[in-house]
Every structure is written in structure tokens, then in C-alpha cells.
Structure 1
Amino acid sequence: MKIVLHPTYFPNITHFVAMVNAEEVILEMEDNFLKQTYRNRTYIYGANGKLGLNIPVIHSQKNRQKYKDVKIYNQDNWQSLHWKSILSAYRTSPFFEYYEDELQPLFMKNADFILDHNLHCLEIICDCLQLELNFSKTDTFEKTLKDKTDYRQLVNAKKEPNYNFEKYTQVFSAKHGFIPNLSILDLLFNEGPNALNYLESQTLKTK
């Protein structure tokens, strides 16, 4: 099965379940940037529950702007804030120290474009998971896809399907219960080398 989806900021569990079960992952490179999506946000499990991490971007005055042309607003100290939030959320998790050295550089050097940064994050996460995916990229935008499964709707942070994923142990689950479909970081820090097995065992079936 060939699938098409958007590169997002530390993709959530749904994105990764779709990717690990695909024969080929085609990354959408030619779409327009939209607000309120996972293109520049991800969610982790903080001490007070679900916590959003948003990358500030520079919005064009044009009505439409290509995702690949959107620049990050690096005047905000967002990388330091995101890393501190991740430290606070996961430093006591079983596998944080195991992956810390691979992930921390992503928060130390400024990236110019949001799409480039997301692709770099995806590359590092795949290395952490020891996951080899058959990636390709679109060179034109197709509204209707042929011979491919369209998962581009998964980028919408406001309209998420309620997938029935198995629970795994989370750092603050005793306080707030299990929170599904967080960033892949949550699964990685809590499950470590078992994260890939977990992803491979899940399906995109709604409740």
C-alpha cells in the first residue's frame, strides 16, 4: 500500500501507525500551509496533562503560501522552551536518557523553514526507532489521488478520528489517565526499543 501524508512536527502515533504499515510513504511537499494543524505543532504528556508545543512561523500576507516556503520565526526562543518542556515531561521516563543525545541537537540549532525542520525531526526519530521506511516526495499537488491511500487529513489537529490504540504506560498516567495519540516522543521515551513493535501491532480502526 502506498500512502500520502504530510510531514509534521514530531508526528503523532496515528501518523506512525500509518507509515509503518505502508509499502511506500509519499510525503506531500506541494500543499499550502494551513493554521491549526500538526505542521507546526505536537502534543506531549506534561505534569498537568496534554501539552501543546507550537513552532512559531512567519505568515505571508498572501492568501496562500506553500508549506515548503513557510519560515520559522526564530526570534522567539521556542526551541529552548520546547526542550525544557520535554525535559520536564520525560526526564523520569524509562528511556529518555537513551535517546536524549540524538534528539537534543534538534533544539540547539535554528532551522529556517518549517518543512525542512520537520523532515529532519522525522529522520532522527526513524533512526531512534531503527525504522527503515521507503520514502518519496510529491512534485505536484493532486487533490484526488489514484492508486494511493490519502492520509493527508491526519494533519488536521482539530478533527481527529478516534482510533482504538492499545494503552501503554505513561509517566503521569496515574494522575490523568491514558492520553492517546500523542507525539511519537511520548511512545519512544516510555517504550524505548519496544516502540516499533507497538506501532506495528496497531491499526487505523476507529472505535
Structure 2
Amino acid sequence: MEISLTEDIVVLPPVFCGSVAHYLRVRLAGATSIDWGRRFDKRFKDTHRFAIADTRGRLEFTVPIAKPESSRCSWGDVRISDHGKWWDVHRVALESAYGRTPFFEYYFDALLPMLTSGVEERFPLLRDLSDAWDGWIRARLLLPAPVVSAQDGMLDEASGGEMLPASPDDYAVGYDDLPPYWQVREDKLGFISGLSVLDLIFNLGPEAVVYLDRLSESPSK
């Protein structure tokens, strides 16, 4: 991605299959970087956790991580674990939650490398797996890829862009007042907010782009 000499680069926290609000931030920012150099802190659960909705309502899933070798490591150094064959749990849950949506079968095959046996070998670091999901999500939403990871140390004065770091609060789901969109079980459960953007993509398909575009044009955001 090429950036202009005056374009700011918004540094966002690493989140796993982030919320709709997170990707609205990406849409509004234009140029983003992901701060995988941030020091590991187990309190930041959104770095390896995401939420969806199925027949029972909101469900949260976590990618298990291996114990870091040092308490002073960065999130970019954290490895994923194969504990409990979590990929099978995630895959079955996504199939159960969104198998009835119009676009699920169209999208799902491309996600199988992140949801099948051997995922811990294909994506040994949490960063590898998270970036793979993020790339797939951004492609569906027509969003630009991150300029570079802040951990890589490639952003300096020569880049011409100002680094605008996210606050610690950006690890939490925000924008609780985002307008509702169609959800497959809304008639029984009502609209459920604050979910992973996967919920938006599976329910709306290509119209998810239109939803974000409308929000980005709203004067309140």
C-alpha cells in the first residue's frame, strides 16, 4: 500500500476477528498499522477472543495460547496452542451459527486453513493466525491492508506519516450504539450488538461494505 507524505497512520491494537466497531475504525482511518509490539498482557482478551451469535445468543470463543517464555515478551511473540482441538470447536460453532445465512457456503471454504487440523503448524504465532483472519476480513470489506506492523520497526520519519497510537481502551469493544443490521435469528433473539465482524459479513455478504460506508459518512462517527 502506498501512502502520501501527509497521511497519518493510525496504530490499532491487535484484535482477533475484531468487532464491527474495530473495522469501522479501519474504514475511517485510511492507513493503519497493527501494534504487535505491544507488551503481552493476559488481561487483553480481545487479542485472541471473538464473539458470535447462535441459537442461544452471544457466544465467546478463545484461541488458546502457549505460555510465553518471558513475561516481558510482546504479543507478536506469542504462540498458539493446540489445546482441546479448539479449531474444531470454532468451525462447528460457525457452521451452526451461520450455516443458514445466504453467504456462508460461498465464503467458508477459504476459511478452512484457519479452522482445521494443522492450524498451529500453518500459523504458529497468534500474530500469523490473526493476520490471516484480518486479511480475509479486509478483503471482504474492501479495506486496505495494514501499512506495516508497528513491531517491524519499518515506520519512521521517512514514511511521512504520523503514528497515532490507539489508547488502551481500544482493546475493548466500542461503539455500542452502532445501528442494527439484519441477523439470521433476529426475529427470535432480537438484535445482538458487539459481535465479531464475521457476524456482519456472514449475514449481509457484500452488503457489509455498504453498511460500513454508510457509517463512515455519518456525522456522529
TM range (shorter): 0.7 to 0.9
Q: What 5-or-longer segments of structure 2 have no aligned partner?
A: 1-7, 154-160
Tell me how far 1:52 sits from its aligned partner.
0.4
Higher Cα radius of gyration = 2
Whole-Å Cα distance in 1 between the matches of residues 89 and 167 of structure 2? 29
The residue number in structure 1 matching 2:112 is 104
Deviations 1:77-115 (A, max 9, x none): 010110000000000012111211212222124221111
Whole-Å Cα distance in 2 between the matches of residues 51 and 59 of structure 1? 25
Whole-Å Cα distance in 1 between the matches of residues 69 and 79 of structure 2? 13
* Contact map agreement 2:21 2:174 (CA 8 A) in 1: no
Deviations 1:152-196 (A, max 9, x none): 535534xx4443211111122222211112111100011100111
Whole-Å Cα distance in 2 between the matches of residues 5 and 15 of structure 1? 9
Amino acid aligned to 1:151: A
The residue number in structure 2 matching 1:177 is 190
The residue number in structure 2 matching 1:5 is 12
Instruction: Give 1 or 2: higher strand fraction.
Output: 1
Count of matched residue pairs:
200
Question: Tell me, what secondary structure is at the counterpart of 1:32?
Answer: coil
TM-score by length of 2: 0.81
Aligned-CA RMSD value = 2.4
The residue number in structure 1 matching 2:133 is 121
Q: What 5-or-longer segments of structure 1 have no aligned partner?
A: 141-145
Q: How does 1:1-207 map to 2 (within 5 A)?
A: 1-36=8-43, 37-60=45-68, 62-108=70-116, 109-110=118-119, 111-133=123-145, 135-138=147-150, 139=152, 147-153=162-168, 155-157=170-172, 160-202=173-215
Instruction: Give 1 or 2: higher helix fraction.
Output: 2
Amino acid aligned to 2:190: G
Whole-Å Cα distance in 1 between the matches of residues 29 and 102 of structure 2? 29
Question: Tell me, what secondary structure is at the counterpart of 1:77?
Answer: helix
Amino acid aligned to 2:126: I
Question: Tell me, what secondary structure is at the counterpart of 1:100?
Answer: helix
* Contact map agreement 1:161 1:206 (CA 8 A) in 2: no
Amino acid aligned to 1:12: S
